[in-house]
Amino acid sequence: MDQSHDLALIERAIDLSLKGIGKTFPNPIVGALITDGEGQIVSEGFHQGGPHAEVIALNNFHGDPTKSSLYLTLEPCNHHGKTGPCTEAIIESGIKQVIYAVADPNPIAAGGARRLREAGIDVKQVTSDRALFVNRDWLSKISLGRARMVWKVAHSLDGAIAAQDGTSKWITNDASRNDVRKVRDGVDAIITGTGTVLADDPTLNGSERNPVRIVVGERNLPTGLHIFDDSAETVHLKTRLLDEVLSFIKVRGFNRVLVECGPKLGSALFAHGLIDEILLYQAPSILGEGRRFTENLSISSIKDQIRLLDRGIEHFAGDIKRTLFTDNENNRRFVCSPV
């Protein structure tokens, strides 16, 4: 098959992989499909926390493996984890060609392509910026040694997250808040602070699934708050030390963590280089002397301003959502990728 046909099939595999968002940690999202000798799709699969995508596609396949090709968004793993190596399943299937988009950077699981070639399988990589972008959470975790951290902020035109008297419900509209719930569907955990919990009594749940809720801070909290209901797991880390928070996140293996908190905790994470993305929901309003969403960033001059990488704007019934990446080496490889 020609390069354009291979890319089109990789695009389909990427679409499949997106069905696993929020369901796969500590593993990546992966999509897989198998084509017959005519290049037609005859089997598909995606990782959703159980068997890997290629294994699902192989289990659903009933054609002639010697005339078929397997397309993957990520190089097949080559190690024993929760399941056996996907390379061995591919070899045993009799498939004679494998095409993948992103090389596996995980030193524990890498080497899949080499193992398949050693078994006589034709293997090639078809690079895809989009495949890189959609798996940025897991790829960042492998690169940085921690989950990808996303700071969500709802604010007025003049940058306020609350009025002068502390009230904040609601700055943004229903459409924006509905989108936030969908964002939560795609994360593994949410970090908030005791101050936010006491002020807003939030549930921090999604529209279809509820991530783990992590409350940070030394203050004791009343057990009757919404954050302690049985809709999701809640962990109260009675600490102000960011290292302890990061240690917990690492132990749990989260890929993507949403930060929904006040300016003190959010700014501390940002100042320590722990924020990778910022989701800004901006309402067309002005709050004047309201509370800003950043503090203590030690910026006194225009030359000290912090530039971010623009990932685009969405509109929600008058509100604007802006997605920004922090400017670092890890993020620059995702910026040119299409959303």
| CA–CA dist 71, 92 (Å, integer) | 17
**Do 330 and 144 meet the contact criterion of CB atoms below 8 Å apart?**
yes
Nearest to 179 by CA among 31, 316, 10, 21: 316
| CA–CA dist 191, 239 (Å, integer) | 13
| CA–CA dist 90, 95 (Å, integer) | 6
Q: What is the DSSP letter of 326?
A: E
Peptide bond into 170 cis (omega under 30): yes
Q: What is the DSSP letter of 29?
A: P
Active-site residue among 54, 75, 260, 277?
A: 54
Catalytic site includes residue 260? no
| CA–CA dist 270, 326 (Å, integer) | 9
Q: Where are the beta strands (DSSP E) in the chain?
A: 31-35, 41-46, 69-74, 97-102, 122-125, 148-155, 160-162, 189-193, 212-216, 234-237, 256-259, 277-282, 291-292, 308-316, 319-326
Nearest to 193 by CA among 146, 242, 144: 242
Distances (CA, A) of 18 to 1, 29, 130, 283: 25, 7, 11, 29
Residues in the chain, how many?
Answer: 339
Tracing tokens 């084509």 back to the chain, one arrives at 35
Residue 295: half-sphere exposure toward Cβ, Cα within 13 Å: 12
Tracing tokens 């095409």 back to the chain, one arrives at 99
Catalytic positions are 54
